[in-house]
Amino acid sequence: MTAPGGRERATTTAPGGRERATTTAPGGREGATATAPGGRDGSRLSSVQNAARLLKEFGSGERELGVSELSRRLGLGKSTVHRLLATLTDERILEHDPARGTYRLGLVIYELGARVSVHRVLHDAATPILEALRNATKETVQIAVLDSREVVYVERLESPHTLRLFGRIGHRNSAHCTSNGKVLLAYLPEDRREALLKGWRPERRTAYTIWQCPKLREELERVRARGWATNISESEVGVASVAAPIRNARGEVIASVSVAGPVLRLDGESLRRFFCSSVVQAADAISARLGYRPGAVAGGAP
């Protein structure tokens, strides 16, 4: 069919019955791809979408697939498929068998799948404990994991108070100035902790932030010795929190749980007594649901 301006527009049908329209400019060059029903628009990268479609083909039963078969299934040219495969192989998402000329899922996919599994198990183990902790403290409760020098909040329940902290699952923050981050840094194996601290220049968020590495090391030693960490106006003035470590069945610290709220409610004796003990008990309860038994782990993690 002919598009406005005399350009020829060819319509093809992709696998699954979706119609895909491309416009051919004068001289035979292929122009922009039109938006398919239910789907693609200018906010999406077609190359990323094609890579995702390609990876899904490996979940259809066959462990290994070649260029020609993928080209046929996806309705893409062989050269395009080859470029996608080469890029995904470079990133270890796929592996190439030169002898057979086929590709299979790489180790990165299995590593990512294992992480998803860990987070799902953590979610199931933590949910009832988090609800009980939020109900007991009436403050925002959250679980975080460490990603290099940052913490990522993977679970969160909001305080019922009108004056409360606002955030979201997936939010990141610097590890050095949060109670979750200090717990996770403190319980890293020494070589990994030192690798992170070496050359690090932590940001001084407030006048209370521990931003010099020698002092941060001292703080992490205190955290490890007592089993919990606090943040009083270190990441943001007026905000306080307390966190404790969550362990897996092997005794490894894989996450931390915290209670956070305004300093006016989480300061002084209330922080040191009620909130600290509540968070430690919650962390121990989640760890127990993950299979951790103190003293049962060979070598006993401290």
pLDDT tens string 47-83: 899 999 999 998 777 789 999 999 999 999 999 999 9
Domain with CATH 3.30.450.40 in the chain: 118-289
Quick one: residue 249, left, alpha or beta (phi over 0 = left, psi -120 to 50 = alpha)? alpha
Position of tokens 């180790």?
A: 107
CA quadruple 271, 273, 278, 279: dihedral, nearest 10 = 50
143: confidence class by pLDDT, cuts 50, 70, 90: very high
pLDDT of residue 114: 62
8 pLDDT exceeds 60? no
Question: What is the fold, at CATH topology level, of the domain defined by 46-107?
Answer: Arc Repressor Mutant, subunit A (1.10.10)
174 pLDDT exceeds 90? yes
With a CB cutoff of 8 Å and minimum separation 6, the contacts of 23 are 3, 7, 8, 9, 30, 31, 32, 34
pLDDT of residue 264: 85
Domain with CATH 1.10.10.10 in the chain: 46-107
The CATH code of the domain at 118-289 is 3.30.450.40
162: confidence class by pLDDT, cuts 50, 70, 90: low
pLDDT of residue 298: 42
Burial class (CB in 10 A: 0-12, 13-18, 19+), 230: buried
39 pLDDT exceeds 70? no
- For the chain, the average pLDDT equals 82
44: confidence class by pLDDT, cuts 50, 70, 90: confident
165: confidence class by pLDDT, cuts 50, 70, 90: low
- Average pLDDT of the residues in 232-240: 93
Contact 130, 282 (CB under 8 A): yes
Contact 257, 282 (CB under 8 A): yes
Burial class (CB in 10 A: 0-12, 13-18, 19+), 96: middle
C-alpha to C-alpha distances, 62 to 58, 66, 104, nearest whole angstrom: 6, 11, 9
